[in-house]
Amino acid sequence: MNRRLEKISKPLSGEIRLAGSKSISNRLLIIQALAKGDMNLYGLANADDTKVLLQALFTNEDTYDVHHAGTSYRFLCSYLCLQDDVQILTGSDRMKERPIGPLVDALRTLGADITYLEKEGYPPLRIGKANWKKAVETLTIDASISSQFISSLLLIAPHIPGGLQLRLEGNLVSRPYLEMTLNLMTDFGITYSWEDDMINISEQEYTAKDYEVEADWSAASYYFGLAALVPGSEIQLSGLHQNSIQGDQSIVEIMKSLGVESAFKNGVWHLKHIGNHQNEIEQEFLLQPDLAQTVSVVCAGLGVTALFSGLQTLKVKETDRILALQNELLKVQVYLSKLPSKFSKNPSKEYYLQEGKASSEEIPIFPTYKDHRMAMAFACLSAIMPVEIEEADVVSKSYPDFWEDYDSLTSANADFG
């Protein structure tokens, strides 16, 4: 289903009640499955990824197909190693292109029984009953590939005989997601230590208790984007915490430089377009990669020249998000280019320069590459021009109510003329 978005002609105002965080929900579901006793989770995400994981955890099937749900696949990969029966873990064609090798290698070192059914290093997997090796003193894993591999191991660590001593090797990506995992585990009674590159978790039990899921800061970023691009806008977002365990709360600080003032009052975040954005910004996304597309599109809409780094994990998401951004921004005369290493400020980083102000004589049509964040990020360009989003229902992966919420803000403010 394609969706045509008309240019927004008036300031946006209204309140959006955001659904629960997918990242928090998926971690809580693994904890719930491992905890002893009754445990109620309130406000779970209604995202496809969470629904898939919920179904997988409470099914008696021996084959698990998680479709495009990367987080669910990685968390289940470790969780199923704790089970006695042989299981098949598979997914979509795109999922079969996303590497799982580092996590499988780590689990095998611990004693897991995992076999590749097709291409070495990639899904699908056959997972049998593990023969845990208590003699493994320290497990080393490359922390520069995906924090989800590490979170997957951490979540089951209390149930591994002898616990887990994990050494993080290389440049750690998405640290806030690891901190989220450990904070949630602590909420359910797990103790741990993290010193330098070593995380230690002893064998112990999760304590079951009821939990209210915070709303999703990744979803909130699109409203910050709209507020930045539509002068006079004042938007309220409810369900978010003032001091969140989600790293994507950093959108608050990022958007200050792009003309959005925000404040937390009476349990609600208030966003206000104040203009006076910077003409040039530099942003590192290593800690919050899911914000990269939103910020890139907002910079394009404002004509802000941006220097981006920390984008390396974007290449192995639902699509190659760097290439997708490059392709689609070109349609509106904006250029995102990788800088040659000789121009880099830091040789250990890749830098991307984005230049140009979005403009188009024709209504641009943006394919989503089966990536929910492409759809929602490029919807922000409707602030300055009509746009068309292909396969718009892809947003169901993380935010099924996005278009309904978008319409609640924009339907009365669209320029149809």
Q: Out of 290, 320, 401, 405, pick the active-site residue.
A: 290
Instruction: List Cβ neighbours of 247 (8 Å cut-off, separation of 6 or more).
Output: 174, 175, 176, 177, 179, 180, 217, 287, 288
Determine phi and psi for 329, rounding to 5 degrees.
Answer: -65, -30
| CB-count exposure of residue 32 (10 Å: 0-12, 13-18, 19+) | buried
The yes-or-no answer on residue 65 being catalytic is no
Name the residues annotated as catalytic. 290
